[in-house]
Amino acid sequence: MPTQYINGNKLKTHIKNLIFPVRCPYCGNVILSDEYACKNCIGQFPKSYYKKYAAGGYQCVSPFPYSGIFSRGVKNFKFNRNKNYAKQFAVVMCQCISKNYYDCSFDIVTCVPMHKKMIRKRGYNQAELLARECSKILGVPYYDTLEKFKMNKPQHSVSAKERETNVKGVFRAIDKNCVADKNILIIDDIITTGSTLGECAKILTKSGCKTICCAALCSVEID
Ligand SMILES: [Zn+2]
């Protein structure tokens, strides 16, 4: 009889971590599988969160600015197929969400959708991955509530002024019954001018939801 019994699942996780070590999303150093960042990067986390208003006056909070180690982390997550980072980012997002929206009780967590052509190209919608992980931590169900049915120019390629018109009419509600009378938390990866989140929130409002709060991983400071 072995003196030490190793649980099958624990062993699988251990082997997986040896082959694919968990990395700090901000610097790439190997960290323990239950950590969400290395100590050095945690030391650089902002002490307070960022608050912005999306178009239409919907409040949005973010734990990070879109600069330095944080923009590097989110770019690696978005463009380099580091899907696993969603889990670690969500821990920090949920700390920020709980601090700011402490008096809100959400019924649904949802995300800013991506056009299916873009999902095919990238392999995933990073906002959806963040929203699904936040939903697990917050214990609030995740639903796809919106779809992007028209392609538009990427928001980063148009001027701040054009961003609002660029997102008009590209999203629609999937099922109004699913959002009617609900308190919704909508998540995106980055908030810049807030046109995209604002347009999504507007459609959810028109679909009859009760309240909407927004959260993004990074907030771009605009001069
Ligand atoms: Zn680090």
Mind listing the domains of the chain with CATH numbers?
Answer: 1-44 (no CATH), 45-219 (3.40.50.2020)
* pLDDT at residue number 131: 98
Q: Residue 177: in which H helix or E strand, if any?
A: helix 176-179
- Ligand 1: centre distance to CA 25 (Å): 7
The predicted structure's pLDDT at residue 170: 96
Q: For 141-177, give one letter per residue: b (16+ CB within 10 A) or e.
A: ebbebbebeeebeebeebeeeebbebbeebbebeeee
As a whole number of angstroms, the distance between CA 126 and CA 77 comes to: 7
Q: How far is the CA of 186 from the centre of ligand 1 (A)?
A: 27
Q: Going residue by residue through the chain (223 aa), what tens digit of pLDDT does each one get?
A: 444 556 777 777 777 777 778 999 999 999 998 999 999 999 999 999 999 999 999 999 999 999 999 999 999 998 888 899 999 999 999 999 999 999 999 999 999 999 999 999 989 999 999 999 999 999 999 999 999 999 999 888 888 889 989 999 999 999 999 999 999 999 999 999 999 999 999 999 999 999 999 999 999 987 6
26 Cα–ligand 1 center, Å: 5
Cβ neighbors of 6 (< 8 A, separation 6 or more) are none
Q: Compute the distance between CA of residue 181 and CA of residue 178 in angstroms, rounded to an integer.
A: 9
Say what the pLDDT of residue 19 is: 76
Give residue 4's pLDDT: 54
- Enter the pTM of the model: 0.91
The H helix count followed by the E strand count for the chain is 9, 8
CA of 203 to the centre of ligand 1 (A): 38
pLDDT of 5 reads: 59
Find the 30 Cα to ligand 1 centroid distance in Å.
8
Q: What is the dihedral of CA 183, 187, 193, 195, to 10 degrees?
A: -60
Burial class of residue 5 (count of CB atoms within 10 Å of its CB; 0-12, 13-18, 19+): exposed
Please give the distance, rounded to the nearest whole angstrom, from the Cα atom of residue 48 to the centre of ligand 1.
Answer: 19
